[in-house]
Chain A
Amino acid sequence: MAPIPGRPAASPRPGCRSRGVPGRELVAPTVVAILGALAYLAFPDDLAFFTRIIVAALFVMSLDLVVGYCGVATLGHAVLYGAGAYAAGILCVDGLTDPLLLIAAGSVAGVVAGLVTALVILRAHGLPQLVLSIAVVQLAYEAANKARDITGGSDGLSGISPGPVFGLFEFDLWGRTAYVLALVLLIATLVVLRRVVRSPFGLLCRGIKQDPDRIRAIGGTIYGNLVKMYALSGAVAGLAGGLTAVTTGVVGLDSVSFEWSAEALVMLVLGGAGTLYGALVGAVVFTGFEHYVAAVDPYHWLFVVGALLIGVVLALPAGLGSLAAWLRRLLPQGAP
């Protein structure tokens, strides 16, 4: 995947656990699968909400690929998500009804949007990069608003009614089909992404984040690899977008908004950037917390969510995900 000399895998960062035991690769996806199945059985009335969490988790993981692993500063990631959502939605309205094809199309659209975005924002660094990313998402938002014949503008693109999955499983009121589909996609994505971030290419990207000059000195290319990672991130974000279009049936301008980009970044920081499970934890905790607090007090819940964020950022600067590492260090070391 990375035809670059000077394998940086030879100098992994301290604490990087790539022990080469084949089974280990599958621990996290298995845990997610078990938790997902338990959630399905224990809370059969909450599946629509869980599906929304999974979509958020996919999107935050996609953001983590560029922010956490590559150190790219972006507040415009919703462009990739929105591209996927609108692509799936528009194709469905035009008559393509197979949900898996629609989601795949969303993913492809995400890749395209990722490549285009990368070409623009990777030219800058730091604050200018952040500003560019905001400009890109605002432009995309306005474009989607202007093209209301295709996108439905601010009324949203409605009338998306995909057929059954594999021609067998209809999307039902309880959201069972949608949830299982989302969970399977999440697990598959997790398996793939864990391989990618531990591959030489993934480690090279981490190297770029930590010290681009050094990577350049040992002969690695910066721009090309970042663009590649951005495209991969687009595939995941587009997947999440396509999934939401298929399961919600409406795509709104919020899917290409600055707010959605910023919210994803908040979730990522909450969970801990730079690890996939940090992204996962952040999305689950933030969305879940928001959901339950808002149900208890629909008027003042934002205060509570704000307090949680401040508390976590002050007490655990590396995010909630760092709790796990901290616990592991406390436990007596068992098997390697």
Chain B
Amino acid sequence: MPTDGCPAFAPAAMVSIGVRVVSCPARRKGEVVLMRSIRVLVVAAAFAVAIGGVASAETIKVGVIGPMSGPFSLYGRNFKLGIDAYVAMHGKKAGSHDVEFIYRDLDGPDPAKAKSLAQELIVKDKVQYLAGVYFTPNAMAVAPLLVQGKTPFILMNAATSAITEKSPYIVRTSFTMWQNTVPAARVARQKGYKKVAIAVSDYGPGIDAETAFRQTFEADGGTVIESIRMPVRTTDFGPVMQRIRNGGADAVFAFLPAGPPTLAFVKAFIDNGLKAAGIQLLTTGDVTPEPDLPQFGDDGIGIISTYHYSRSHASPENEAFLAKIREVGGRVEDVTMAAVGAFDGAHVIYKMIEATGGERDPEKAVAAVKGLSWISPRGPVSIDPETRHITQNVYVRSVEKQGSTYINKEILTFANQPDYGLIKAK
């Protein structure tokens, strides 16, 4: 954890010395003198930086809440990986201020705990920014604290549209179900599918996905022949597949939370002969996270998914990002959308600190990032000034085999997608 502030001074001092050494005429005779003066300079510079650091730049704390233990710990670790990668790339300083990230564990949806953690971070640890949060109810519980606590909140995952409406200080750098699902429905129409069956897990995000797909697909002239809501914890999808087969659909749109059920779902899809019958499986990228692809094996090839980030996205930014992930001790195989959400979240926080000069001024901080645009590892992104949600490309990907590994290969791009969920609500 980045708890020690001291090493940050050292590189600054080294840089200043480096410049001096280069600009000095390095003669053989004067070398000893030069060495000595360098030593003096090093000490002086170190002192100057240290004193300067104490006097002007206080450390800005950022509280990060996420699932660091338990079944979702992959995503909590992804938050930390993304933030560490950003810090490794851009240094520990935002403007003239050191930034310290404090991590708190919240392993499942537990709003009461979320609220007390956030409250403690604001009141006791005096954090200037809150970030992270994987589950929607937890984000909802944090929202009412922000105005009174004068704390902007950078949402790095939770994907229900309405969250950003709960407080003017929330900025989201992840995605929403609607944002990723609408392109799935569009691409289904573009590919000429007329009759589609929908199968979703019976909980909040599943219902969002169902509604988004149905509305978009029907508006584009397609027909949804049936819509099946599956219990969240089931792993027996045989009956579902039978129903879809008998219904005569051209394609299936499915959403399930990543984990054992998705694997069982894809297996059932193949075992019941749906793939052989030429029925196309369409999903959002939640069903095909890269760490799960090897488990699908060859059966997974050809699944089409829509998502805002794929690890195999070809861009220099993504390569640099993955290189930093390796550098901070992470495994590239573990990288998911949560790491990119955190990486971009850290970018937003740095920009906020620069804009406010380290002062606690949430209005100014949020105003400074409205309309902010940059090139993320996922592609070009910007913060919508209206909704404070991230506008980004959504990619249509197909699962393919590349060498011995499986990747989500991008085959089509829907550029600059807004959060359709909030647009529909208005």
Q: B-contacting residues of A (Cβ < 8 Å)?
A: 45-46, 48-49, 51-52, 55, 142, 145-146, 148, 152-156, 158, 161, 172-175, 244, 247-254, 259, 294-295, 298-302
Contacts and interface: CB of A to CB of B under 8 A. Distances in A.
Given A46-B124, A302-B69, A156 B137 contact: yes
Given A148-B207, A302-B70, A155 B160 contact: yes
Contacts of A173: 119, 122-123, 145, 148-149
Given A299-B73, A302-B70, A252 B119 contact: no
Contact of A298 (B104, B113, B116): B104
B108 interface: yes
A154 B124 CA distance: 30
A250 B137 contact: yes
A54 to B, nearest CB: 11
25 contacts: A46-B120, A49-B116, A49-B119, A146-B202, A148-B204, A156-B109, A158-B166, A173-B149, A174-B119, A175-B116, A244-B112, A248-B115, A249-B141, A249-B144, A250-B112, A250-B141, A252-B109, A254-B110, A254-B111, A254-B137, A259-B108, A294-B104, A298-B104, A298-B105, A301-B105
A172 B148 contact: yes
Contacts of B160: 155
A154 B109 contact: yes
Interface string B328-354: 000000000000000000000000000
Interface of A is mostly: helix
A247 to B, nearest CB: 8
Given A49-B120, A148-B207, A158-B140, A298 B103 contact: yes
Interface string B198-225: 0000111101000000000000000000
Given A145-B203, A155-B160, A301-B105, A52 B124 contact: no
B203 A154 contact: yes
B128 interface: no
B207 to A, nearest CB: 7
B171 interface: no
Interface of B is mostly: helix
Contact of A250 (B104, B115, B119, B202): B115
A46 B140 CA distance: 21
A154 B105 contact: no
Nearest to A145: B203
A301 to B, nearest CB: 7
A201 B280 CA distance: 66
Q: Which 4 A-B pairs have the closest CB atoms?
A: A156-B137, A298-B105, A250-B111, A45-B124
A299 B111 CA distance: 20
A45 B104 contact: no
Contact of A156 (B69, B136, B205): B136
Contact of A248 (B104, B105, B141): B141
B140 A156 contact: yes
Nearest to B144: A249
A254 B108 contact: yes
A48 B116 contact: yes
A182 B137 CA distance: 22
B130 interface: no
A300 B207 CA distance: 34
